[in-house]
Amino acid sequence: MRKKIVAGNWKMNLSLVEAVELYQGITELTVAPQVEVVVFPPSLFIDRLMTQFLHRIKVGTQNAHPVTSGAFTGEISMQQVADMGIDAVLIGHSERRQYFNETNEFLRQKVDAALANNLRSFFCCGEPLKVREVNDHLNFVKNQLHESLFHLSAEDFQKTVIAYEPIWAIGTGLTASTEQAEEMHAAIRSWIVDVYGATIAENYSILYGGSCNPSNASALFACPNVDGGLIGGAALKLSDFEILVAETTWITSK
């Protein structure tokens, strides 16, 4: 059975006190053994969270640079992230693509650098509204995956997780319908079959992200090819996140 994952992207939110409180709350949640919880706090806070709470919940950075060291003011490298004992890195979030002009080629370099440093990549893909409106969303996402991820060896690919996040659903309150989510997730799995074979595809976790919250999570997580979520806004409130973790636990029985 493939792993179910609930991941929280805190973005540039929360004070240190709030982050500590939220992380502590998450460490106290009941999480089924077959469910993995990962949070992506602001990078500055990560070491404090890991140290204070004995790294009880996995953590990742929301970004890192592919070059090992050098004149990249304001950036942190994948190697520096790995030095801190951090587990994972988010790559290709649409806010990074949109506001920081990150291209598929640049994201491919990040994926390679993350793997070279034994970091698990949570790779985000997803189409803008304009692309969905002309019904080209499948081609668009397929191209993102081919240009940034599908060059990996089978061994490395299995150290990644894909999060499908339709851009029009991120932080907007709009959510993909279960049909829209399942169509894309099934397509992603079929492309994985084409590149890596059926066994790897069957065991690979594909997360949904985009205004996922306690009222829509059970329907989305019940889709056969949805293996949990990458959660933004609802990951900032412990009571909401707790429900999403509980829903993820429930789908392990599907």
The sign one gets for the Cα dihedral 182, 187, 190, 196 is: negative
Among positions 9, 180, 216, 249, the unique one binding ligand PEP when judged by CB under 6 A: 9
Q: Does 248 bind ligand PEP (CB under 6 A)?
A: no
Q: Does 165 bind ligand PEP (CB under 6 A)?
A: yes
Decide if 123 contacts 162 (C-beta within 8 A): yes
State which of positions 26-45 bind ligand PEP (CB under 6 A): none
Separation of alpha carbons 84 and 79, rounded Å = 9
Among positions 206, 233, 240, 246, the unique one binding ligand PEP when judged by CB under 6 A: 233
Letters for 79-108 (x = contact with ligand PEP by CB under 6 A, - = none) are ------------------------------
Separation of alpha carbons 1 and 159, rounded Å = 16
Quick one: which H or E segment has residue 7? strand 4-9
The sign one gets for the Cα dihedral 99, 84, 104, 220 is: negative
Task: Compare residues 212 and 246 and give the one whose CB is closer to ligand PEP.
Answer: 212
Task: Compare residues 185 and 201 and give the one whose CB is closer to ligand PEP.
Answer: 185
Kindly state the tokens that stand for 77: 């490298």
Among positions 6, 89, 111, 170, the unique one binding ligand PEP when judged by CB under 6 A: 170
The residues with which 38 forms a beta bridge, in sequence order, are 7, 58
Q: Which residues bind ligand PEP (CB under 6 A)?
A: 9, 165, 170-171, 209-212, 230-234
